Structure 1
């Protein structure tokens, strides 16, 4: 019994550590003044991949919900592991992209990294809508990580009551983050310079 509790504490510490490190690493890479430049121009294609991964995550999350509503735990679990795998793949690709390329600004038509008055005027209220969606997407993507990890932990350790309580909040947030990831991509896509 003591070994199991010690093992549980290790997993819980890992969840806390990962939940803190992920946003710190991403923020560092986005705001670090010098880009690593470890990749070639192909890295500029990654935002499209990110939208594809987010779209696939939406589909696997919905499929997992349908499976559990139909009482098929095995299929539910498979789709949830697929969602988690896609999340990890997204994160790795996202870190690679932001460590290599400057962030694109919504409305930057001439691709100079600055928004002049004319570009701001042309972007208009669509820029505000974009920024609100982006802000909610980023904030919730940071907040949902520990909840996702705890939901998986509770499911894998057969703490189903705790798992169910956790996913009542976690599932819709994860789904929202995945959907808004696709929306954000299509809204900013016209401003990417390939």
Structure 2
């Protein structure tokens, strides 16, 4: 019978493969446009809402684990991961059918927008292995290690979720 450490090593290979493959696939799919498919312009408010729901789930999940409600915490975190996957699928679908929208604001607000956008994009790439490692440590019963990395994962993931909503709100009038 394999130990949780052996299983974790197997998961680590998948974690790093996904952490590299997902950003590369997303970048590559930006250049793919599906001909004959109607523009999916209705998706940005939906995936921005999903980002907002993810942020709320993360906050509630942390509150629940601090109260000692491990089972609800686990369900909330699995739901947050599911929301992030759904966000990614909708985001890719939108960009495969629609041209990117340019921000039309001027002055200082333009710099604020691009700062938030760039940090959102960079951290959305960086957070992938953190989320996956944190999850694997939890499901393999390595709770001390789980808590240790969750202290890093949580604020990164929360920033990505909240900044995704902010980016949408700042650019929504230019769609």
Alignment TM-score, normalising by the size of structure 2: 0.94
CA 38–179 in structure 1, closer or farther in 2 if over 3 Å, else same? farther
1:163 deviates by: 0.4
Long gaps (5+) in structure 2: none
SS in 1 for 2:102: coil
In the TM superposition, what are the counterparts of 1:1-194 in structure 2 within 5 Å? Answer: 6-30=6-30, 32=31, 34-37=32-35, 39-41=37-39, 43-107=40-104, 123-192=106-175
Runs of 4+ in structure 1 off by over 6 angstroms are none
* Alpha-carbon RMSD: 1.6
Cα 1:56/1:8, change in 2 over 3 Å? same
Normalised by the size of structure 1, how large is the TM-score? 0.85
- Larger C-alpha radius of gyration, 1 or 2? 1
Higher relative contact order (CA 8 A, sep 6+): 2
Is the Cα–Cα contact under 8 Å of residues 19 and 146 in structure 1 kept in the other structure? yes
* Structure 1 runs not aligned, ≥5 long: 108-121
Deviations 1:27-85 (A, max 9, x none): 1122x2x51246323x1111111111011101110110110110100011111011000
Contact in 2 for aligned 1:15/1:146 (Cα 8 Å): yes
